[in-house]
Chains A and B, each alone.
Chain A
Amino acid sequence: MRCPRCRAPMIIVERNEIELDHCLECHGVWFDGEELALLFTSLGAQDAGRRLAEIMAPRGKKPRERALACPRCGRKMDQVAVGSGAEVLLDRCRRGDGIWFDGGELHAVAARLGASGAEGFARAAAFVEEVFPRTLPPEAAPAGGPAAEET
């Protein structure tokens, strides 16, 4: 799958059996609809998908910029604001294929979701923060840890 922002091929990062697509160029993250469902199910937050939609509001007439295309279905995505207060945006596929976090907005969105009060979101946000920490730990030398590699 290609990055909807910069068109570079994205890698897949699997952690705790959940997959996220990640662009190494612009650091954006694609959270696939199916993966989101798997995550919510594994957290026992069955109707989180619906409640997540409730705290997202389409951003009205003036889009911030040209709409991005969904990396899965290729159709235009909606820009939606998350929560209230200073504007935090993400892009959401209209068909429900998934949501796109720009590199810069990932942590802002995660914080908003975490603050929304719902147990499922807080843990989902924690998961995203865990996979993509705000700052990387000091560079681990490849020789230092037994970095198992297989191809």
Chain B
Amino acid sequence: MWDQIASNRRKSVTLVVMMAAVLFVLGYASGELVAPGGGGYVGLLVALVLWVGLSLVAYFQGDRIFLGISQARRIRREDHPRLWNVVEEMKIASGLEVMPEIYIIDDPSPNAFATGRTPARAAVAVTTGLLGMLDRAQLQGVIAHEMAHIRNRDVLLMILLGVMLGAVVMIADLVVRAVFWGGVGRSRRSSSSGGGQAQLILLVAAIVLMIVAPILARLIYFAVSRRREYLADACGTQFTRYPEGLASALERIAAPGPTLKSATRATAPMYIINPLRREGMAAHNLTATHPPIQERVKILRAMAGASYTDYNAAFRQVTRRAGVIPPAELREAVPTRILEAAAPDGTTRQGRARQAGDALLTLSDYVFVTCACGNRLKIPPEAQFTRVKCPTCGRRHELAP
């Protein structure tokens, strides 16, 4: 386990350095392009300041900002015991020392993400859509996957790489705009001598770089994140010892909902229930583009046991590529049997959706009244009612002020 963290760190450092190299070369070239002869160092400086600034913000505030933007609500154990218990189980299985903070996001599209710069300061967030969709074993698979990201310190790495990717894209975009709209760089002073041609070549090279650098940065970013997703799948399976949980969760998340099978963009406006409203969240989430979900599901289903060795074998069998697990980790892998399928947990999709929704309503100080006719009335705090009449049976309920 520790070996993997060490090996991850070495690889991470290499990738961060590569990404930094792309950023600084780009910064220098941009400077030269905008102000030939000396401008390169200014560009380098700008890139450096941008990178350091963004990284510091991301490091210290990134998780808060991200949770804030997605309007995540932090829950306590009593708000959603099922989710809390699953996270607690997986915290123990993963050997994390600190219980991560748990957040719920009011969003019908199923999704989950982990954030936090160190395992001691981590948070997992899931959407109400996810909570409604998945049964216990599936939810456990997803949470185990997120815990694996936390334990493998993927979050910090992806934040740092993401920031650099952002900086590269930003610089390239600005310079391309400046060149196209402002005609900068075509300095009249320097075109008098024979240096003109050399400068032209430099100019072309710099423009090519502006186009290539963001692509290169994205490739590095995706290469890293794809590998991380596979590793988190393998690692999460070790925590749950039940690969089918994550496999069926992924399948359910990726599949269009039951009512929505025949939908296309053209017919979407025809539906009462928008079939395509599943724009997930950006950033580091479970279903983000990375490896194709079908492939991940196939690998998980091909596993003969629950250990790294089994995952690696299944990975090679399905993808016909060399393995994905670091060799040192494979040497230490302990054969682990897959657990037998748990009995269905007896929850229904509606019941789970209610549970998740009620957790959010409780956090918003709604008052819950159970009427004898079978209704549950949920009264918002801003209504300031002192009594409420059940619309079905007409019973009146006094509300505590």
Q: Which residues of A contact B (CB under 8 A)?
A: 1, 8-19, 22, 24, 27, 33-34, 36-38, 40-42, 46-50, 52-54, 92, 94-97, 99, 130-133, 136-140, 142, 145-151
Contacts and interface: CB of A to CB of B under 8 A. Distances in A.
Nearest to B366: A12
Given A94-B269, A136-B391, 5 more contacts: A11-B377, A14-B354, A37-B273, A96-B268, A147-B372
A96 B374 contact: no
List the 5 closest pairs (A to B, CB-CB), nearest first: A96-B274, A12-B378, A17-B350, A136-B394, A14-B376
Contact of A47 (B262, B366, B395): B262
Given A33-B274, A96-B274, A96-B277, A146 B372 contact: yes
B357 interface: yes
Nearest to B274: A96
Contacts of B394: 136-140
Contact of A38 (B350, B370, B371, B374): B350
B348 interface: yes
Interface string B119-159: 00000000000000000000000000000000000000000
A17 B349 CA distance: 10
Nearest to A27: B391
Contacts of B393: 136-137, 140
18 contacts: A9-B382, A10-B380, A11-B378, A13-B377, A13-B390, A33-B274, A36-B273, A41-B349, A42-B349, A46-B258, A48-B259, A130-B392, A136-B394, A142-B396, A147-B397, A148-B370, A148-B372, A149-B398
The CB with the most chain B CB atoms within 10 A, among A19, A36, A139, is that of A19
Interface of B: 108, 257-262, 267-275, 277, 348-351, 353-354, 357, 361, 366-372, 374-380, 382-383, 385, 388-400
Given A17-B348, A36-B273, A96-B271, A150 B368 contact: yes
A37 B349 CA distance: 11
A96 B395 contact: no
Contact of A145 (B277, B367, B395): B395
Contacts of B274: 33, 95-97
A38 B349 contact: yes
B391 A22 contact: yes
Contacts of A12: 361, 366, 377-379
